[in-house]
A and B are shown apart, each in its own frame.
Chain A
Amino acid sequence: MSNLTIKNLRKSYGDTEILKGIDLEVEDHDFVVFVGPSGCGKSTLLRSIAGLEEVTSGQILLDQNDITDVAPAKRDLAMVFQSYALYPHMSVGKNMSFALELAGESKDVIAKKVASAAEILELDKLLERKPKDLSGGQRQRVAIGRSIVRNPKIFLFDEPLSNLDASLRVQMRLELARLHKDLKATMIYVTHDQVEAMTLADKVVVLNAGKIEQVGSPIELYNRPANMFVAGFLGMPRMSFLTAQVASCTDTYVTIKLDAGAELTLPVQGHSLSKGSKVTFGIRPEHITVVEENAGMINTSVDASEHIGSDTFCYVKTTNNEDITIRTQSDCSVVDNSKIGLEFDISQSHLFDNDGIAIATRTTSVS
């Protein structure tokens, strides 16, 4: 049983507040990913959980025990560092057994634990090597092995894949997912890469400037982002945002007039809006269809297009100079500077009020 509760955690460096009141629950067996742009505080939050950073105020509870002031060694947590932080003067085997030696375990127990961790991670042939003789992927596995051996309550990962090349990253992602399933462990994982967040997490925590923007499953966050920040952060290519004004609104429908031209009616709850309110319309690239000029909801002119083989991304500008990104089939042959029309899938669109908060869809209260 290893669940983590964080209550109103704040951390300041001098006069700068990095974490501005974090409240979070991590359940047993969860794979939780902290994701956000550089400087949002995700690494600071992880390091505070690990005990490597002093907390200014707030509480951290592990299995109902207050560990806020407990030294890192005594928290029963293990961490995999971005740079792996392997001990360069020790062999792989010794790197993995160091913690157990410090804890005073017997040689047999240590050997067994190291052997079983090495087997899981395919390190058994490398136990005598030194870190400098290992490849990046191997070093990463040793760093993970070091954590497994301790059988901690929670595994902490600080951007572990960012130093690997692209293909290795995909491979390690799958291995981490498999590891999580096999060990049935609780894992907290920090990354700036939203693809890693989407693929690995049971629960995603989106952080921005020291505050939690939204917590939920990846699909939840993708389909129902709570605000414009989350909407724009998850999803590649980014969601396109168009400014608009409310033409009319009821509890079940809102009709908006895009500054780019079209009038659209969305199935959202409009009780917090009034006629004339400024809103933002959000639509993901895969929910837009390219049609002939004047045959769609709005007209745009093409800036550029990218063909990546499996898809085509079109970058267009509206008549009022807003940018829209479209994802369409690979055989789409759109010409630069030509004019095309766009059709939006309204059922998949998003509406945000003047403060960037999402307007709830009519269906959220039902399903």
Chain B
Amino acid sequence: MLLTLKQQRRLHTVAMGALAWLVALLIFFPIFWMILTSFKTEIEAFATPPSLFFTPTLENYITINERSDYFHFAWNSVVISFTSTIIGMLIAVPAAYSMAFFETKRTNFTLQWMLSTKMLPPVGVLVPIYLLFKDFHLLDSKTGLIIIYTLINLPIMVWMAYTYFKEVPKDILEAARIDGANMLQEIWRILLPMTKGGLASTVLLSLILSWNEAFWSLNLTAYNAAPLTSLIASYSSPEGLFWAKLSAVSTLACAPILIFGWISQKQLVRGLSFGAVK
């Protein structure tokens, strides 16, 4: 029984689709398993062999704050990520505006240089930063981390805002100028409303990068300013059964970022690949 061309193509698509699904499920499996485990009791979580079917319980979520002071760490993550992002945007947007609309011969070089600062391995400056922070009492302080995160995310924010600004047709801004707008009015009433989607994803990317950052947060904080990354790391030397609770904490810690990431995936490519991939 020979298949017609149309049937061959259908089969091909279905087979490929099934394979794609299989691969995706395999890759997603650890996350799925983590979420699943968070609904188990500790005994269930440690069961051998691990069980797929069980009676779900919310006890891990309910007691999450009691055991691990979750809210303290979550709050730190929130404050640090949001503050560094806001400060970063306040510095980055004017820079991007100027580079997009007042381009000079030095603009490309400046952008290149800014992005290159992101390529510095953090270990290289671990020592001086640690010592500086010690001397300025910034160790284990939210302020300290905010400063660092603002600096390491600044290049990406400038870069992304720059690309979005460049996409605005020049003549719309000229029309605004002829209509009587000064520079501030041009930015506030025309440019920003037109680029709010792109700027939103810039903000999201910065939030994601700050939230997940796991070098400075591990080395420069102890408890007071420790964000969620540190909390989770502290589970690596556990006392007693803890897997279900770990899963619950992890799920809560990762959920918002997962959602942010899903929403803004296209724009993230732009930011993460420095525009080299279109």
Contacts and interface: CB of A to CB of B under 8 A. Distances in A.
Interface of A: 50-52, 71-74, 77-79, 81-83, 85-89, 98-99, 102-103, 146, 150
Contacts, number: 57
B178 A50 contact: yes
A83 B178 contact: no
B193 A103 contact: no
B-side interface mostly? helix
20 contacts: A50-B178, A52-B174, A73-B179, A73-B180, A74-B180, A77-B178, A79-B174, A79-B178, A81-B174, A82-B171, A85-B171, A85-B172, A86-B172, A86-B175, A87-B194, A88-B172, A98-B179, A99-B180, A102-B180, A103-B180
Contacts of A102: 179-181, 185
Nearest to B193: A89
Given A73-B181, A103-B180, A79 B175 contact: yes
A280 B177 CA distance: 48
A52 B194 CA distance: 21
B238 to A, nearest CB: 53
Contacts of A77: 178
B47 to A, nearest CB: 56
B169 A83 contact: yes
A99 B179 contact: yes
A87 B172 contact: yes
B151 interface: no
Nearest to A79: B178
Contacts of A81: 171, 174-175
Contact of A72 (B178, B190, B194): B178
B33 to A, nearest CB: 44
A86 B190 CA distance: 11
A73 B190 contact: no
Nearest to A75: B178
Contacts of B180: 73-74, 99, 102-103
B175 A85 contact: yes
Interface in B179-199: 179-182, 185, 189-190, 193-194
B179 A85 contact: no
